[in-house]
């Protein structure tokens, strides 16, 4: 395990304390260089950890290219068109394949002829690398880096392990010693991050020892070569590193530079990491992962399955509605939660009146009874209440609110949405996440739940039962959230953050299921379901209409529109296809989820994906993103199975009453009366001043 205590920083040259180590020198590199102290077979290398047991197969050669050679090569390569690659961070690359006749020592890897001619200066470099290493590369990858886009590093201990996300260069053990990777930065410096895990497994992030890591400084034009043990058993990653701040004035103003990667690796290196290792590596226990997560056995792994043909039981037999509530300033009024329950009819009759409901009332911490110690950040009354901290008066009002809730539930008839509603009252403060986890464990017997916060509303007709039917027949769908204002154009957000490379994969993952091919008069851009949306003010109406105009110009809508044009002949007349869009975020907004997935995976205490006192989305969503970084977009997302429902009308399904700022009618009247009294007082003072001036 890494030493305790950590800090995070954006990697700059000033943040690394470089030391020097001797490493073997490439025998064929710069043969005319004079030796120093008789050590002509060694080269000095700058490292951040001089205690690292250097792996065999790691060699460097500084100034492998002259400045003139590097400049000529840089200019030549920049004439080519680059393409975007990479999920975790966007980067531009250009790939070349060395023609078969040029690979002189080749017994592993592809021999396909390159479709792009290799530039003259790059060919000279390929020949020189081949002469220096004894092996000629089959592939060349040119990566463009930006020195302003530095890498976030987590440092454990004052002089401890610098942790970054690294990966193996090859997924299949080379059968030939001719396999290698060589890297050369041009136009700027870079850092090669190296570490050796206990086991060669994609989900093992514990190191062989606390010293099996280092950062290697690569000055411009330096050649670094990885072979043998370094290539097979050590993880690596190369990243940009800006020059020291006081040296910026002496540096070229250009912020982009390139890193050349010349390599020969096995054919199977192009296979996905998760599938390759799943077939060739033993599984690990959860304790083997440094972050407590075994990504090889993490989440749902059902794979591609045929739809389930058995008919779905009645909705009330498979779905329970969970409504979470906690103290808000409007207590003891039940206006907020009554508005939420009143909108259940937008989800259909079965949803509103037949399904069982559970209201979970979170506990409170009383602030001024002499027993609770409240941190400084919660001294603001509004913020304190958001964190379940109440004074004696607020606690009393919350108790009255819960009594009023019980009265609503016990007196409700079959025509009330409060019919068939139980109340689960927690004795202590849990926070939204843990309160929900308690309810899933103790109160739910149905295979699915719909989770709604007490101040969330369903604004217009929403296909709850149809969504439930889609989840029933397609079990890899574990979670569906109803669209809200902030995620209405989710596809645009995804493309903006992760670039164009994963655009095609993302589009392929969007689900268009027969269970969600519905009445076009209710859903879609030409539907009437939005006509009865209640707008509090004309300004709100204008805001919603403006958002719809933006939506109709978005990639989210245009992609669906293009699909509809292509597949219009497949749809029944009068039908519109709704979509389930994969999300990289677990929204706490109104959502339907599989109970077992929620209870046994999301709330598994070993994974620690939900923080006590916080919301589920706060910690779970970053875990979701990290999983995708380690397993890839498709594989990582499949472990969570979370989707967003959209009918592409340009309007979202759910809204937010905002219980923290909600005012009852009586409170609004009181505020209005206070405002009038204040205005009268000001007018009276002004009139008295005028009267005095007249005298």
pLDDT band at 103 (very low <50, low <70, confident <90, very high): very low
- 674, pLDDT greater than 90: no
Q: What is the DSSP string of 524-588?
A: STT-STTTT---SSHHHHHHHHHHHHHHHTSHHHHHHHHHHHHHGGGSPTTEEE-EEEE-SS---
Which pLDDT value is given to residue 42? 76
**CATH architecture, domain 315-656:** Alpha-Beta Complex (3.90)
Which residue reads 């997560």 in tokens?
293
Model pLDDT, residue 411: 96
Q: Among 49-63, 402-416, 419-433, whose mean pLDDT is lowest?
A: 49-63
Is residue 162 over pLDDT 70? no
pLDDT at 99: 80
**Count of H helices and E strands in the chain?**
19, 29
Q: What is the pLDDT of residues 639-650, one digit of tens each?
A: 999 999 999 999
Q: Which tokens go with 557?
A: 């809508």
Task: Show the tokens assigned to 457.
Answer: 């509303």
- Does position 2 have pLDDT exceeding 80, yes or no? no
Q: Which of 345-359, 433-447, 652-666 has the lowest mean pLDDT?
A: 652-666
Q: CA angle at residue 431 from 427 to 432, to 5 degrees?
A: 115
Distance CA 270, CA 118 (A): 22
Helix (H) or strand (E) holding 435: helix 431-442
Task: Name residues whose C-beta falls within 8 Å of residue 396's C-beta, 6 or more positions apart in sequence.
Answer: none
Range of lowest pLDDT (109-123, 246-260, 667-681): 246-260
pLDDT digits (tens, 9 = 90+) for 268-325: 443 333 333 333 333 333 334 445 556 556 777 655 556 778 899 999 999 999 999 9
Task: Evaluate if residue 31 carries a pLDDT over 80.
Answer: no
Q: Please give the pLDDT value at position 589.
A: 95
Structure token digits, residue 681: 């007082």
Proportion of the chain above pLDDT 70, given as a percent: 75
Q: What is the pLDDT of residue 4?
A: 42
Structure tokens, 518: 């519905």
Reported confidence tier of residue 1, pLDDT bands at 50, 70, 90: very low
- Residue 17: per-residue pLDDT: 75
Query: Which residues contact residue 76 at a Cβ distance below 8 angstroms, ignoring those fewer than 6 apart?
Result: 119, 120, 121, 122
The mean pLDDT value for 389-417 works out to 94
Q: With residue 143 as reference, give the H or E element that holds it.
A: strand 139-146
- pLDDT, one tens digit per residue, over 588-619 is 999 999 999 999 999 998 888 999 889 999 99
The count of residues in the chain is 695
What is the share, in percent, of the chain residues with pLDDT greater than 90?
43
Question: In b/e form, how buried is each residue of 373-395, taking b as 16+ CB within 10 angstroms?
Answer: eeeeebeeeeebbebbbbbeebb
- The answer to whether residue 659 scores a pLDDT higher than 80 is no
The region of weakest confidence among 65-69, 130-134, 443-447, 507-511 is 130-134
Contact status, residue 327 vs residue 388, Cβ threshold 8 Å? yes
Q: Render pLDDT for 472-525 as a digit per residue (tens, 0 to 9).
A: 999 999 999 999 999 999 999 888 877 666 778 899 999 999 999 999 999 999
- Is the confidence at residue 161, as pLDDT, over 60? no
CATH superfamily of domain region 6-26+44-270: Alpha-ketoglutarate-dependent dioxygenase AlkB-like (2.60.120.590)
The mean predicted confidence, pLDDT, of the chain is 80
Q: pLDDT class for 104, splitting at 50, 70, 90?
A: very low
Q: Could you give the 3-state DSSP secondary structure of residue 60?
A: strand
With bands split at pLDDT 50, 70 and 90, how would you rate the model's confidence at 242? low
The tokens for 98 are 């060395």
Split at pLDDT 50, 70, 90, the class of 568 is confident
Q: Where are the domains of the chain?
A: 6-26+44-270, 315-656
Q: By 3-state DSSP, what share of the chain in percent is helix, strand and coil, each rounded to 5?
A: 35, 20, 45
pLDDT of residue 661: 62
Confidence label for 154 from pLDDT (cuts 50, 70 and 90)? low
Please report the pLDDT score of residue 14 as a whole number. 56
The whole-number pLDDT of residue 531 equals 80
In 484-590, DSSP assigns E strands to 517-519, 575-577, 579-582
CA trace torsion 286, 292, 296, 301 (10° rounding): 100
Alpha helices in 363-425 (DSSP H): 381-386, 392-411
pLDDT of residue 164: 66
Instruction: Give me the mean pLDDT over the 146-174 stretch.
Output: 59
Q: Where are the beta strands (DSSP E) in 235-286?
A: 235-240, 256-264
Can you tell me the distance from the alpha carbon of 161 to that of 159, in angstroms, rounded to the nearest whole number?
Answer: 7
pLDDT: which is higher, 306 or 362: 362
Let me know the angle formed at the C-alpha of 490 by 488 and 493, rounded to the nearest 5 degrees.
130
Per-residue model confidence (pLDDT) at position 15 = 58
What is the structure's pLDDT at 266? 75
Instruction: Give me the mean pLDDT over the 112-134 stretch.
Output: 82
Residue 353: HSE in the Cβ half-sphere, 13 Å Cα cutoff: 9
> Tell me, what's the pLDDT at 529?
79
Omega of the bond leading into 641 within 30 degrees of 0 (cis): no
The whole model's pTM is what? 0.63
Spatial distance between the Cα atoms of 40 and 324, rounded to a whole number of angstroms: 72
**pLDDT confidence band for 174 (50 / 70 / 90):** low
Please report the pLDDT score of residue 541 as a whole number.
85
């Amino acid at each position: 395990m890494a030493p305790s205590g950590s800090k995070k920083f954006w990697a700059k040259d000033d943040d690394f304390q470089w030391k020097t180590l001797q490493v073997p020198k490439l025998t064929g590199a710069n043969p005319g260089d004079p030796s120093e102290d008789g050590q002509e077979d060694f080269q000095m290398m700058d490292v951040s950890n001089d205690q690292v047991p250097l792996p065999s197969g790691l060699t460097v050669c500084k100034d492998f290219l002259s400045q003139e050679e590097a400049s000529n090569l840089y200019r030549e390569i920049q004439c080519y068109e680059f393409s975007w690659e990479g999920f975790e961070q966007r980067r531009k690359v250009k790939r070349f394949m060395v023609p078969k006749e040029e690979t002189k020592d080749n017994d592993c890897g592809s021999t396909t002829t390159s479709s792009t001619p290799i530039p003259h200066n790059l060919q000279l470099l390929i020949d020189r690398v081949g002469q220096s290493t004894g092996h000629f590369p089959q592939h060349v990858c040119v990566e463009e880096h930006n020195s302003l886009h530095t890498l976030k590093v987590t440092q454990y201990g004052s002089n401890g392990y610098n942790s970054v996300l690294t990966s193996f260069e090859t997924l299949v053990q080379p059968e030939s010693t001719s396999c290698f990777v060589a890297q050369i930065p041009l136009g700027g410096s870079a850092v090669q991050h190296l570490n050796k895990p206990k086991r060669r497994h994609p989900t093992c992030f514990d190191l062989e020892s606390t010293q099996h890591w280092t950062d290697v400084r690569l000055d411009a034009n330096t050649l670094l070569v990885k072979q043998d043990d370094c290539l097979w058993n050590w993880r690596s990653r190369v990243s940009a590193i800006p020059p020291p701040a006081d040296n910026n004035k002496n540096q070229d103003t250009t912020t982009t530079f390139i890193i050349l990667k010349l390599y020969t690796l096995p054919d199977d290196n192009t296979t996905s990491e998760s599938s390759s290792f799943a077939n060739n590596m033993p599984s690990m226990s959860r304790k083997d992962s440094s972050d407590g997560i075994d990504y090889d056995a993490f989440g749902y792994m059902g794979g591609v399955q045929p739809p389930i043909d058995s008919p779905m039981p009645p909705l009330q037999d498979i779905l329970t509605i969970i409504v979470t509530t906690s103290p808000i300033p409007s207590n003891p009024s039940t206006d907020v939660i009554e508005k939420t329950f009143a909108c259940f009819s937008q989800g259909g009759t079965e949803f509103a009146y037949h399904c069982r409901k559970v209201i979970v009332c979170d506990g409170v911490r009383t602030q001024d009874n002499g027993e609770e110690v409240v941190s400084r950040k919660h001294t603001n009354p509004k913020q304190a209440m958001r964190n379940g901290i109440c004074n004696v008066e607020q606690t009393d009002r919350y108790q009255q609110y819960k009594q009023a809730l019980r009265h609503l539930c016990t007196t409700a008839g079959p025509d009330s949405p409060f019919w068939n509603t139980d109340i689960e009252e927690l004795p202590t403060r849990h926070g939204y996440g843990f309160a929900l986890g308690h309810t899933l464990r103790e109160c739910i017997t149905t295979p699915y739940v719909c989770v709604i916060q007490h101040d969330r509303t369903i604004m217009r007709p929403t296909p709850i039962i149809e969504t439930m039917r889609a989840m029933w027949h397609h079990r890899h769908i574990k979670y569906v959230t109803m669209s809200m204002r902030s995620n209405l154009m989710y596809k645009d957000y995804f493309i903006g953050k992760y670039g164009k490379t994963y655009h095609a994969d993302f589009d392929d993952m969007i689900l268009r299921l027969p269970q969600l091919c519905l009445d076009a008069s209710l859903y879609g851009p030409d539907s009437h379901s939005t006509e009865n949306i209640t707008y509090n003010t004309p300004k709100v109406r204008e805001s919603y209409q403006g958002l719809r105009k933006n939506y109709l110009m978005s990639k989210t809508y245009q992609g669906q529109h293009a699909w509809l044009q292509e597949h219009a002949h497949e749809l029944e007349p009068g039908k519109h296809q709704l979509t389930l869009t994969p999300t990289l975020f677990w929204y706490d907004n109104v959502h339907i989820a599989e109970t077992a997935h929620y209870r046994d995976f999301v709330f598994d205490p070993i994974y620690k994906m939900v923080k006590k006192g916080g919301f589920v989305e706060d910690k779970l969503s970053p875990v979701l993103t990290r999983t995708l970084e380690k397993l890839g977009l498709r594989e990582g997302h499949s472990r969570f199975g979370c989707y967003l429902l959209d009918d592409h009308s340009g309007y979202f399904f759910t809204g937010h009453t905002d219980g923290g700022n909600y005012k009852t009618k009586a409170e609004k009247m009181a505020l209005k009366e206070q405002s009038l009294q204040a205005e009268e007082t000001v007018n009276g003072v002004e009139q008295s001043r005028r009267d005095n001036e007249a005298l």
